[in-house]
């Protein structure tokens, strides 16, 4: 017994470390559903007292029936028995009514809290730096917050509600039992100590297992995605990889399932042992009670009340311990949620940031060195580059040369480890971050195909300005997307994509035109286009470039491209290699230089098959 007490004390000390999460969770629930929570607490108190009233009436009913039988069925005594029976029936009816009302209140509370938590997770997700997505540990945090911890405040509240209700009933039952012997409540408590140890011990083991297997469960989810996603369906069928991923999924799930079942088996055996100990205590105390009744000290009503109160008390104690275990379990998992919500971005505003001006001088990279998080490779090394205001600059180079990294640094998705990126002589870090990003519009190399109407796909480029139809039409025309939209069954109101009913899918090139229109809708002073013509045929490219020159007039433009037919229209072309600028000049000047650019131009124009030194 003392060994069990010591183990229980150790587990309880571990549980106390989770108490801060309890306070945070209760604060979260209060903010999300304060009024519903107060109503729920009132219902719990009433429901906690009603079982004790039932037990007390049981004694009165049994004693009145004994008197009625002894009196030969006298109406006066029978009327009293009927009165007690009617009261018990009314209490049972009230319990059912309150159970239904509580369910409605809990559902309303659950929905409010769940939506509130989802909003917290979503806001945190869009607030964190892009660097977090480069870390597997971040995905573990996100997975646990989204799939394991998002419902935990609700479960915690349920457990605490049950704990409160059962505690009220348990205290009242103890008051009833102590009238028979002072030691009965203590016997009730000690009979459930083994169950307390089982609950805490296995709760900790289950949480450790969940933490340890997060990456494996995420990988199982990934295999499931590969086997069911439309984006993967074509390649899955062509290369016949479906069975391979099915096998990998099943092997992983088998291992996870076996480990989980082993935990549950050990828990079930431990609970059986704890249950046998509790039954033994119940048997001994019941034997003592019967002996007292044989001595004429207790009535049959006392026996009925004692058995009902003690057996219910044991059930309540087991429920209390399970509630404690569930509270502890939920607090452990809530740690995942609050740890995720506590993550802080590193790319943030300085205390008093400057407003972003219209570029007058331009953008300058000075001795910039940058590596992606957890990467041993340097993307940029002592990098220097000038982008004059109001000019169009093209960046060309092999894959991995660092071209797209420039885009990410200009948008301050990352900050360099050393060096400076300046706009009109001021470091980008000194400008207000949100304002800086609003001054830039970007066509990303892999633009998002939003599953919405064609008009909304373009409007997403500048939601704050609430662009009207004419602005959307103008952006579509500038990007060459107007001809694509004209062919759609409902024009700008056509649902794009196949995720939802009635959607129309587009080719890669058509999606790119829509994304270009989205980028053009924002009237930003800096335009960055990452492979803007990669999905266009040569005729469409020429037509688009002619219109784009007019659109980008007097705006600072950066073209990241593999196509020299696109790059040649820039005022200045920079050739990148291994994170550095190795050649710069106009198209004609670079051809005259007869370096990397010139050799690659000739290879691209003549369609040569030999190895290309640039692209």
In angstroms, the Cα distances linking 204 to 18, 21, 159, 255, 424 are 12, 16, 17, 20, 57
Tokens representing 350? 């300085």
| pLDDT (0 to 100) of residue 257 | 86
Regarding whether 265 and 392 lie in a shared domain, the answer is no
Structure tokens belonging to residue 186: 């203590």
Q: What is the mean pLDDT of residues 577-583?
A: 87
Does residue 353 lie in a domain region? Answer: no
Q: What is the mean pLDDT of residues 481-490?
A: 90
pLDDT beyond 90 at 430: yes
**More confident position, 583 or 114:** 583
Strands 362-370 and 418-423: antiparallel
Q: What pLDDT was estimated at residue 615?
A: 47
Q: Whole-model pTM above 0.85?
A: no
Q: What is the mean pLDDT of residues 424-448?
A: 90
Nearest to 95 by CA among 177, 169, 35: 169
pLDDT, position 422: 94
Mean pLDDT for all residues in the chain: 79
Phi, psi of 508 (to 5 degrees): -60, -45
Q: Is the pLDDT of residue 116 over 90?
A: no
pLDDT attached to residue 415: 93
3-state secondary structure of 312: helix
* More confident site: 161 or 323: 161
pLDDT for position 274: 67
Residue 526 near residue 440, CB atoms below 8 Å: yes
In a domain, 228, yes or no: yes
CA separation for the pair 501, 357 (Å, rounded): 45
C-alpha span between 566 and 532 (Å, rounded): 9
The answer to whether residue 458 sits within a structural domain is yes
Q: Pick from 293, 312, 342: which residue ends a domain?
A: 342
Question: Residues with Cβ < 8 Å from 455, sequence gap 6 or more?
Answer: 469, 472, 492, 493
Determine the average pLDDT of the residues in 287-311.
Answer: 68
What does 510-576 look like in DSSP terms, one character per residue? Answer: HHHHHHHHHHHHS--SEEEEESTTTTS-HHHHHHHHHHHHHHTTTSEEEEE-S-HHHHTTSSEEEEE
461 and 316 in a common domain: no
pLDDT at 561: 85
Please determine, for residue 57, whether its predicted confidence score (pLDDT) is greater than 50: yes
146 with 269, same domain: the answer is yes
Q: Does residue 248 sit in the same domain as residue 153?
A: yes
Q: Which of 523, 547, 577 is the last residue of a domain?
A: 523
Task: Bin 607: left if φ > 0, else alpha if -120 < ψ < 50, else beta.
Answer: left
Q: Give a yes or no: residue 576 inside a domain.
A: yes
Better-predicted residue by pLDDT, 543 or 373: 373
State whether 592 and 466 are in the same domain: no
Q: Which of 461, 488, 523 is the last residue of a domain?
A: 523
537 and 517 fall within a common domain: no
pLDDT over threshold 70, residue 213 = yes
pLDDT above 50: residue 38: yes
Report, as an integer, the average pLDDT of 530-545.
74
pLDDT at residue 245 is higher than 60: yes
In tens, the pLDDT along 166-198 reads: 666 666 666 766 766 677 667 666 666 666 666
Average pLDDT estimate for 128-138: 82
Q: What is the pLDDT of residue 1?
A: 42
Label residue 4 by pLDDT band (50, 70, 90): very low
Percent of the chain with pLDDT over 70: 75
Residues 512 and 586 in one domain: no
- Here the CATH number for the domain that contains residue 389 is 3.40.50.300
d(Cα 4, Cα 543) in Å, to the nearest integer? 82
Asked if pLDDT for residue 9 goes beyond 80, the answer is no
Same domain, 127 and 79: yes
The CATH number of the domain holding residue 329 is: 1.20.1560.10
Distance from C-alpha of 533 to C-alpha of 565, rounded to nearest angstrom: 10
Confidence of residue 303 (pLDDT cuts 50, 70, 90): low
Judge whether 157 and 327 are in contact, CB under 8 Å. no
Question: How far apart, in whole angstroms, are the C-alpha atoms of residue 288 and residue 276?
Answer: 19
Amino acid 8: pLDDT: 47
97 Cβ contact partners less than 8 Å away, ≥ 6 residues apart: none
16 and 111, same domain (yes or no): yes
**Which one, of 174, 168, 169, 201, lies nearest residue 187 by Cα?**
174
Q: Evaluate if residue 451 carries a pLDDT over 50.
A: yes
| Overall domain count for the chain | 3
Distance of CA 197 to the CA centre of its chain: 32
Residue 108: per-residue pLDDT = 80
Q: Is the pLDDT of residue 545 over 60?
A: yes
- For the ranges 159-163, 379-383, 503-507, the lowest mean pLDDT is seen at 159-163
Asked whether residue 581 is assigned to any structural domain, the reply reads: yes
What digits encode the pLDDT tens for the residues 265-288?
A: 877 777 676 667 666 766 677 677
Domain annotation covers residue 352: no
Coil, strand, or helix at residue 321?
helix
Name the E strands within 69-221: none
Q: Say if residues 200 and 325 touch (Cβ distance below 8 Å).
A: yes
Residue with tokens 């408590």: 189
Same domain, 224 and 106: yes
Most confident of 373-377, 483-487, 506-510: 483-487
Backbone angles phi, psi at 376, to 5 degrees: -85, -10
If you average pLDDT over residues 38-65, what whole number do you get? 77
Asked if 583 contacts 596 with a C-beta cutoff of 8 angstroms, the reply is yes
- Identify whether 350 is part of a domain: no
Statement to judge: residues 128 and 147 lie in one domain: yes
How far apart are alpha carbons 141 and 38 in whole angstroms? 32
The answer to whether 412 touches 437, Cβ cutoff 8 Å, is yes
Are residues 424 and 465 part of one domain? no
Q: What is the structure's pLDDT at 420?
A: 94
For residue 459, being part of any structural domain is answered with yes
Could you list the residue range(s) of the whole structural domain that residue 22 is in? 2-342
Concatenating the DSSP letter of every residue in 292-305 gives HHHTTSS-HHHHHH
pLDDT digits (tens, 9 = 90+) for 599-615: 888 887 766 444 444 54
pLDDT at 423: 93
**Do 300 and 292 form a contact (C-beta atoms < 8 A)?**
no
């Amino acid at each position: 017994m003392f060994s069990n007490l010591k183990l229980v004390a150790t587990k309880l000390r571990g549980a106390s470390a989770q108490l801060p999460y309890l306070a945070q969770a209760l604060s979260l629930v209060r903010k999300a559903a304060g009024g519903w929570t107060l109503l729920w607490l009132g219902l719990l108190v009433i429901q906690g007292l009603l079982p004790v009233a039932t037990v007390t009436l049981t004694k009165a009913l049994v004693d009145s029936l004994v008197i009625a039988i002894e009196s030969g069925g006298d109406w006066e005594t029978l009327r009293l028995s009927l009165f007690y029976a009617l009261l018990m029936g009314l209490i049972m009816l009230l319990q059912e009514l309150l159970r239904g009302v509580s369910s409605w209140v809990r559902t309303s509370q659950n929905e409010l809290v769940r939506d509130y938590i989802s909003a917290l997770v979503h806001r945190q997700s869009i607030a964190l730096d892009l660097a977090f997505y480069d870390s597997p540990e971040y995905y573990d945090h996100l997975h646990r917050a989204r799939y394991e911890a998002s419902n935990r405040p609700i479960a915690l509240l349920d457990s605490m509600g049950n704990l409160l209700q059962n505690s009220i009933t348990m205290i009242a039952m103890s008051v009833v039992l102590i009238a028979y012997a002072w030691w009965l409540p203590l016997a009730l408590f000690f009979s459930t100590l083994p169950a307390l140890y089982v609950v805490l011990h296995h709760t900790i083991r289950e949480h450790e297992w969940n933490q340890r297997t997060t990456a494996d469960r995420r990988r199982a989810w990934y295999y499931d995605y590969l086997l069911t996603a439309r984006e993967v369906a074509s390649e899955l069928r062509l290369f016949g990889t479906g069975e391979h991923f099915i096998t990998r999924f099943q092997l992983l799930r088998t291992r996870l399932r076996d480990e989980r079942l082993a935990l549950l088996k050990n828990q079930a055996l431990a609970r059986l042992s704890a249950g046998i100990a509790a039954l033994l205590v119940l048997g001994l105390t019941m034997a003592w009670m019967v002996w007292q009744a044989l001595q004429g000290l207790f009535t049959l009503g006392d026996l009925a009340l004692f058995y009902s109160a003690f057996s219910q008390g044991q059930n309540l104690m087991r429920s209390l311990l399970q509630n404690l275990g569930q509270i502890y379990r939920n607090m452990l998992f809530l740690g995942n949620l609050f740890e995720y919500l506590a993550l802080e971005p590193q790319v943030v505003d300085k205390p008093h940031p400057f407003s972003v001006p219209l570029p007058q001088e331009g953008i300058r990279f000075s001795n910039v060195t940058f590596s992606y998080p957890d990467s041993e490779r340097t993307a940029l090394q002592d990098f220097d580059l000038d982008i004059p205001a109001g000019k169009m600059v093209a960046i060309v180079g092999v894959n991995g040369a660092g071209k797209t990294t420039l885009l990410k640094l200009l948008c301050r998705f990352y900050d360099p480890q050393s060096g400076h990126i300046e706009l009109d002589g001021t470091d980008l870090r000194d400008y207000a971050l949100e304002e800086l990003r609003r001054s830039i519009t970007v066509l990303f190399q892999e633009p998002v195909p939003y599953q919405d109407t064609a008009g909304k796909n373009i409007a997403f480029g500048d939601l704050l300005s609430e662009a009207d139809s004419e602005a959307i039409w103008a952006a579509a025309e500038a990007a060459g997307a107007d001809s694509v939209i004209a062919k759609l069954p409902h024009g700008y109101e056509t649902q794009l994509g196949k995720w939802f009913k009635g959607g129309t899918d587009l080719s890669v090139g058509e999606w790119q035109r829509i994304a270009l229109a989205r980028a053009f809708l924002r009237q930003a002073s800096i335009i960055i286009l990452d492979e803007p013509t990669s999905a266009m045929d040569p005729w469409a490219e020429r037509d688009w470039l002619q219109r784009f020159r007019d659109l980008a007039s007097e705006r600072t433009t950066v073209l990241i491209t593999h196509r020299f037919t696109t790059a040649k229209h820039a005022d200045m072309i920079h050739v990148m290699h291994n994170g550095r600028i190795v050649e710069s000049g106009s198209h004609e000047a670079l051809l005259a230089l007869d370096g990397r650019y010139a050799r690659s131009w000739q290879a691209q124009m003549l369609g040569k098959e030999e190895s290309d030194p640039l692209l």
